[in-house]
Amino acid sequence: MLGHGRGHGRGRGGHHREADPYEEKVEPLSITDRRMLAWFARYLGPHWPKLLLGLVGMLGGTAAALYYPLLLKPIWDDVIGQGYMDRLPRLGGLLLATFFAQHFFGALRMNVMHQLGQRFVLDVRLRTYQHLLRQSLSFFEARRTGDIMSRVSNDVNAVEDMVVHGVDTLISDSLLVIGTMVMVFHLNWRLALVGLAPLPIFLLGIVIFGRIIRPLYERIREQLGEINSRLQEGLEGIQVVKAFNRESHEFGRFETDSTDYYRANIKGIWLWSTFFPLMGFVTSVGLLLVIWFGAVQANAGLATGGMVVSFLAYMQRFYHPVGSLVRVHNTFNRALASLARIFQVLDAEPTIEQKPDAIELPRVAGRVAIEDVTFRYQTGEMVLQDVSVTAEPGETVAIVGRSGAGKTSLVSLIPRFYDPLQGRVVVDGVDVRDVTLDSLRSQIGIVLQDTFLFNDTVRNNIRYGRLDATDEEIEDVARRAYADEFIEELPEKYETVIGERGAKLSGGQKQRIAIARALLADPRILILDEATSLVDTEAEQLIQRALDNLRHNRTTFVIAHRLSTVREADKIVVIEGGQIVEEDSHEELMARNGVYAEMYNRQFRMEDVWYGERNALGEAGPPR
């Protein structure tokens, strides 16, 4: 990633972070509820045949479940009470058919609805990741990687639990509850009123529980994001952790975050483990009232024993799905807390967007003009002020200056990683804001100081420059990048997996892989950001030769602290405090005896001292 080099707004690696509107913005939960329903309609609507089949399964299963208690009345009253055993085979056959239908339609319902649920979750996961890939660099600079990962993995998993299991239970049990209420009022409306007397208490409890538990689940999801961020930072920075002997310190911070997450979960467990048994007791009271009042009516001749038995079966079938709906409500609260975090990602719009009428940029000659550019990051600090730089096709322009002067910020404007506040960047006479991002960035190659390689084979890392490249083309650019020498010595040559971020390779080897990747992309414009600053002398010489091959006939922007590497540049631009203070060739700038000459002479005096000390020890000095 090509960043601005000054850490503006970054949320990683420190205790202090700039305020992040992305994290502070939490939508009202009522909106999230409505958006959740809209999402179901949007994603499941195209699958209406399966939805219809699932609905058939629900209705068939519900009808069978509602018919079963009706059969208990004649079995109790006629077969058991009156001894009409000749009716038992027919009633038994109906019971068997009812059980079969209930389980057949239940299997159909679960299969179809769970498939649709998995499809929904797949769409959510893919869309979230696709939206993340569309975001501008500023999005990732202001957010922690671990928290973003938590939203794509853990939060989507929470939604999966709701969609795959919760929605199915919600619809089927809701149908069963409604159907049961109709049946019990049809059988005996007085007994129905008694049996449903605890229902208002039940519903009130659900409302109160939801208002308490949902904010808690939101906090739990946020704390899980903190844990993931802490884990990701600790593992990425493990070398620094060990170098400063900070294992105990890092463990302490991770333990604190994990303990906070544990305590929030314990509170949630206490709430639902108290609430559900309490609601279970309320339903038991309802059944007790049915037994009590049913016995009174039976003794008064207003109801038969079979009706009371049938009624009890209905009430059990009423309160059991109601209990399931309460547990689903708990699942929904968890999922809605996660959905709010997912929607925060999906609502974030890229700061760098392509115009609707953007044109395709044809193959360019490579003339780049940065015209009167003023730029700052979201923190508000001005980085560049009225800067103008022009590079003709095939020219090499070096950008030099002290750390924080704005060098990387300047070249970041060329591929539109950022847009200037004022001024414009023009490639072959066309404003980069008027062309498609793909057609612009496909003609720009970037080799960074901190080379990023994927945990994949050498071949596939080079192929990343052009995905349709042949093996012969990959091996050709590897030779031109002077990478084939060490590749041939690897255990599996080009098929060797190089580890996360290229951990199995040296710094110089990683740089040569990156150069081969850029060569394969064949860009017209090249950006080299401190490409040799982290390697030793021998590796630098090989890399410089590879870079010579890479720069050939390309417009090249070179950012370098080591001024010895830019003496041959066609033009050297010196930036101080976000402004250009000098611009000319190496010889002309040295003759002026200005800022560049002072930087150059100071650097070489320091290297002479370092070289003398190293030479006294019989070691090689820095490159001259």
Looking at residue 379, its pLDDT comes to 65
pLDDT class for 21, splitting at 50, 70, 90? very low
What one-letter code names the amino acid at 549? N
Looking at residue 380, its pLDDT comes to 66
- pTM value is 0.66
| Residues of the chain above pLDDT 70, percent | 85
Looking at residue 425, its pLDDT comes to 92
pLDDT > 50? residue 31: no
Kindly state the average pLDDT of the residues 590-617. 67
What one-letter code names the amino acid at 308? V
Looking at residue 609, its pLDDT comes to 46
CA 624, chain centre distance (Å): 46
Greater model confidence, 293 or 44: 293
CA–CA gap between residue 586 and residue 47 (Å, rounded) = 67
Q: How distant, in Å, are the alpha carbons of 299, 304, 351, 417, 560 from that of 444? A: 91, 86, 20, 12, 19
pLDDT > 80? residue 260: yes
pLDDT > 80? residue 418: yes
Looking at residue 541, its pLDDT comes to 67
Report strand pairing: 571-576 vs 396-400: parallel
Nearest to 116 by CA among 59, 175, 52, 36: 52
CA–CA gap between residue 79 and residue 91 (Å, rounded) = 9
Using DSSP's 3-state secondary structure scheme, residue 299 falls into helix
Looking at residue 328, its pLDDT comes to 77
pLDDT > 70? residue 25: no
Kindly state the average pLDDT of the residues 527-547. 65
pLDDT class for 306, splitting at 50, 70, 90? confident
Token pair for residue 164?
A: 């795959």
Read off the pLDDT of residues 570-601 as tens digits, 9 standing for 90 and up: 888 888 888 888 888 888 888 888 888 888 88
Token pair for residue 42?
A: 């949007």
pLDDT > 80? residue 384: yes
Do 483 and 509 contact (CB within 8 A), yes or no? Answer: yes
Looking at residue 7, its pLDDT comes to 36
CA–CA gap between residue 603 and residue 618 (Å, rounded) = 22
Greater model confidence, 620 or 457: 457
Looking at residue 338, its pLDDT comes to 77
DSSP category for residue 27: -
pLDDT class for 79, splitting at 50, 70, 90? confident
Nearest to 47 by CA among 105, 119, 114: 119
Nearest to 261 by CA among 213, 229, 220: 220
Residue with tokens 């299991």: 165
Phi, psi angle pair for 246, to nearest 5°: -110, 25
Ordered DSSP codes for 578-591: TEEEEEE-HHHHHH
Nearest to 183 by CA among 6, 22, 316: 316
Nearest to 442 by CA among 363, 513, 559: 363
pLDDT > 50? residue 27: no
The CATH label, of 2.40.40.20, 1.20.1560.10, 2.60.40.1180, 3.90.1300.10, for the domain at 24-347 is 1.20.1560.10
Looking at residue 606, its pLDDT comes to 58
pLDDT class for 619, splitting at 50, 70, 90? very low
Read off the pLDDT of residues 104-145 as tens digits, 9 standing for 90 and up: 988 888 888 778 777 777 787 888 888 887 877 777 767 777
pLDDT class for 245, splitting at 50, 70, 90? low
DSSP category for residue 99: H
Looking at residue 538, its pLDDT comes to 55
Which range has the worst mean pLDDT, 176-190, 397-411, 440-454, 530-544?
A: 530-544
pLDDT class for 203, splitting at 50, 70, 90? confident
Q: What integer best gives the mean pLDDT of the chain?
A: 77
Residue with tokens 């038969």: 304
Looking at residue 239, its pLDDT comes to 60
pLDDT > 50? residue 623: no
What's the CA angle centered on 492, arms 490 and 496, to 5 degrees? 80
Start-to-end CA span in the chain (Å)? 30
Q: Which residues contact 169 (CB under 8 A, 6 or more apart)?
A: 324, 325, 328
Phi, psi angle pair for 299, to nearest 5°: -65, -25
pLDDT > 70? residue 244: no
Do 446 and 515 contact (CB within 8 A), yes or no? Answer: no
Helix, strand, coil % (nearest 5) of the chain? 65, 10, 25
Q: Report the DSSP beta bridge partners of residue 557.
A: 397, 527
Read off the pLDDT of residues 488-529 as tens digits, 9 standing for 90 and up: 888 888 888 887 777 778 777 888 888 888 888 888 888 888
Q: Report the DSSP beta bridge partners of residue 285.
A: none
